[in-house]
């Protein structure tokens, strides 16, 4: 053990996820933690297994990598998919990992893991990356630019976790993988099934498998400013109204020639600020964060055969529950007059103030029963939105095959 590495102190180990207010105040972006047994081991039976993960890595459009641990004095290697099936036969029993991104989009049952993370900012979730690793398997010491919950499925892994954001990150040159030159200075912990580690952005970490393992990395990454400005600009362009020309009003002699004078610059800045402070921006923001993070699959088809409010109500009254599959992102923002803008699949949904309680309910819950509906307000108004959500493939009956 490195002299500055010590076994994780008990105050870092929590026996359950912190309450949401404490999570944001103390941990989010600031401090790693580990929760022992946070997830019921039975849940992992529904999530992707190693064989199906290898199956995804054969697909052209799915991002996958095989990383081989550097032997003593040797080099790390990283190969990118898609892989041929027989590639897995030649890898041996040790020292490699397979990592696949956006798994919640391709194996939607894996998204069920997200029901454990309702306290997190789900609208910022980027993807679930899943790794299968053999003993000795690792991606090396590194930092990530995103927040991540490392959820341990089967097997065991030993992690070393930095206790502060890394300064002057120094990576090994010439690799197709970002591996820090030095080992991680931090605290050590071995995890098993159901344990969850939270790592804030830029905190160094390294996991080494001690027993054939599956790790589910739930990652949160915000967009870049350039992406936000470009996308909002595109929205304004499509809307047209509000997308006015800068009209040069109030210019004076200082702006003669090629000089946009300070007054002109201020006018332009104010036009931009007003556009960003408008309700259009709140509406666009809801649409933006409800977009699937990766447009890899066409999951935005509406149902071929539409159901009526009455038929849907009858099925609910028969005791059937509706649920929202966890890989479908909802997003809600509030306009200045208090109107809630609810969006899914990048489009605003037709809501009214009568739906406010239902919207808040859907923000925190996955399943919806007739008993819930009875407590959430005027039934006719609610059924109009619920039927719309059902016909848009946002709500499903339990055990109904996802028609994607
Ligand atoms: C892994 O599962 O090996 C990589 C997860 C990570 O460190 O981000
Ligand atoms: Co990482």
Which ligand 1 atom lies nearest to the CA of residue 133? 3
CA–centroid distance, residue 320 to ligand 2 (Å)? 41
**Cα gap 258→359, rounded to integer Å:** 52
372-385 burial: b if 16+ Cβ within 10 Å, else e: bbeebeeeebbbbb
CB 270 within 8 A of CB 249: no
Q: Which of 232, 256, 260 is nearest to 246 (CA)?
A: 260
Residue 299: what pLDDT? 53
Q: Assign residue 399 a region (left: φ > 0; alpha: ψ between -120 and 50; beta: otherwise).
A: left
Structure tokens given for 378: 């005027």
Q: For residue 53, give Cα distances in angstroms to 58, 131, 247, 334, 390.
A: 9, 8, 56, 39, 30
Q: Which of 166, 147, 150 is nearest to 99 (CA)?
A: 150
185-215 burial: b if 16+ Cβ within 10 Å, else e: bbbbbbbbbbbbbbbbbbbbbbbbbbebbbb
Phi, psi of 364 (to 5 degrees): -115, -15
**Cα gap 177→353, rounded to integer Å:** 50
Q: What is the pLDDT along the chain (404 residues), one digit of tens a residue?
A: 444 555 555 568 999 999 999 999 999 999 999 999 999 999 999 999 999 999 999 999 999 999 999 998 889 999 999 999 999 999 999 999 999 999 999 999 999 999 999 999 999 999 999 999 999 999 999 999 999 999 999 999 999 999 999 988 899 988 889 999 989 999 999 999 999 999 999 999 999 999 999 999 999 999 999 999 999 999 999 987 778 899 999 999 999 999 999 999 999 999 999 999 999 999 999 999 999 877 544 556 788 889 999 999 999 999 999 999 999 999 999 999 999 999 999 999 999 999 999 999 999 888 999 999 999 999 999 999 999 999 999 999 987 765 44
Burial class (CB in 10 A: 0-12, 13-18, 19+), 75: exposed
User: pTM of the predicted model, to two decimals?
Assistant: 0.92
Residue 391: what pLDDT? 95
Residue 242: what pLDDT? 76
Ligand 1: residues with CB < 6 A are 97, 131, 133, 139, 144, 148, 150, 205, 207, 215, 217
CA–centroid distance, residue 1 to ligand 2 (Å)? 21
Please give the torsion angle defined by the CA atoms of residues 127, 133, 138 and 143, in that order, rounded to the nearest 10 degrees.
10
Q: Which of 364, 67, 26 is nearest to 200 (CA)?
A: 26
Tokens 């066409």 found at: 298
Question: What are the structural domains of the chain?
Answer: 5-220 (2.60.120.650), 244-277 (no CATH), 297-397 (3.40.366.30)
Structure tokens given for 75: 């080099």
Query: 262-277 and 225-239 are packed helices; what angle lies between their axes, rounded to 10 degrees?
Result: 80
CB 343 within 8 A of CB 287: yes
CA–centroid distance, residue 144 to ligand 1 (Å)? 10
Which ligand 1 atom lies nearest to the CA of residue 157? 3
Which ligand 1 atom lies nearest to the CA of residue 97? 3
Residue 295: what pLDDT? 59
Per DSSP (E only), the strands in 42-152 are 64-68, 77-80, 96-100, 125-133, 147-152
Q: Assign residue 70 a region (left: φ > 0; alpha: ψ between -120 and 50; beta: otherwise).
A: beta
Which residue lies with its CA nearest to atom 4 of ligand 1?
139
CA–centroid distance, residue 2 to ligand 2 (Å)? 20
Q: What is the DSSP string of 159-208?
A: EEEEEEE-SS--BPTT-SS--BSSPP-EEEEEE-TT-EEEE-TTEEEEEE
Per DSSP (E only), the strands in 44-124 are 64-68, 77-80, 96-100
**Residue 216, strand partner residues:** 130, 151
Which residue lies with its CA nearest to atom 6 of ligand 1?
217
Residue 301: what pLDDT? 73
Structure tokens given for 322: 């509706």
Q: For residue 170, give Cα distances in angstroms to 143, 177, 196.
A: 10, 13, 27
8-state DSSP, 238: H
């Amino acid at each position: 053990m490195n002299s500055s590495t010590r076994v994780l102190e008990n105050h870092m180990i929590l026996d359950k996820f912190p309450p949401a207010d404490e999570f944001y105040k103390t941990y989010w972006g600031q401090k790693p933690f580990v929760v022992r047994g946070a997830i019921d081991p039975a849940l992992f039976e529904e999530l992707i297994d190693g064989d199906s993960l290898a199956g995804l890595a054969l697909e052209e459009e799915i991002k996958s990598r095989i990383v081989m641990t550097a032997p003593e004095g040797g080099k790390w290697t990283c190969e990118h998919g898609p892989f041929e099936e027989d590639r897995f036969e030649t890898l041996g029993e040790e020292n490699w990992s397979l990592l696949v991104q956006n798994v919640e989009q391709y194996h939607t049952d894996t998204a069920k893991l997200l029901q454990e993370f309702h306290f997190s900012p789900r609208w910022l979730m980027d993807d679930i990356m899943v790794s299968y690793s053999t003993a000795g398997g690792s991606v090396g010491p590194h930092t990530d630019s995103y927040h991540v919950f490392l959820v341990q499925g089967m097997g065991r892994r030993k992690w070393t976790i930095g206790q502060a954001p890394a300064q002057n990150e120094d990576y090994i040159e010439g690799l197709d993988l970002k591996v820090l030159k030095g080992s991680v200075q931090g605290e050590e912990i071995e995890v098993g099934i159901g344990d969850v580690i939270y790592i804030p952005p830029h905190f160094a970490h390294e996991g080494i498998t001690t027993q054939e393992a599956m790790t589910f990395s739930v990652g949160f990454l915000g967009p870049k400013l350039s992406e936000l400005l470009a996308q909002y600009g595109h929205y304004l362009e499509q809307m047209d109204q509000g997308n006015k020309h800068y009209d040069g009003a109030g210019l004076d002699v200082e702006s003669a020639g090629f000089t946009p004078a300070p007054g002109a610059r201020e006018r332009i800045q104010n036009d931009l600020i007003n556009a960003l402070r408008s309700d259009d921006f709140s509406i666009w923001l809801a649409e933006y964060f409800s977009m699937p993070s990766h447009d890899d699959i066409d999951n935005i088809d509406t149902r071929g055969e539409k159901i009526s409010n009455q038929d849907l109500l009858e099925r609910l009254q028969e005791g059937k529950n509706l649920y929202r599959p966890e890989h479908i992102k909802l997003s809600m923002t509030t306009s200045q007059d208090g109107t809630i803008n609810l969006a899914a699949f990048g489009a605003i949904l037709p809501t009214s103030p009568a739906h406010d309680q239902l919207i808040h309910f859907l923000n925190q819950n996955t399943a919806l029963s007739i008993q819930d509906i009875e407590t959430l307000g005027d039934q006719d108004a609610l059924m109009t939105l619920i039927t719309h959500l059902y016909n848009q493939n946002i709500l499903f009956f339990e055990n109904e095959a996802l028609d994607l």
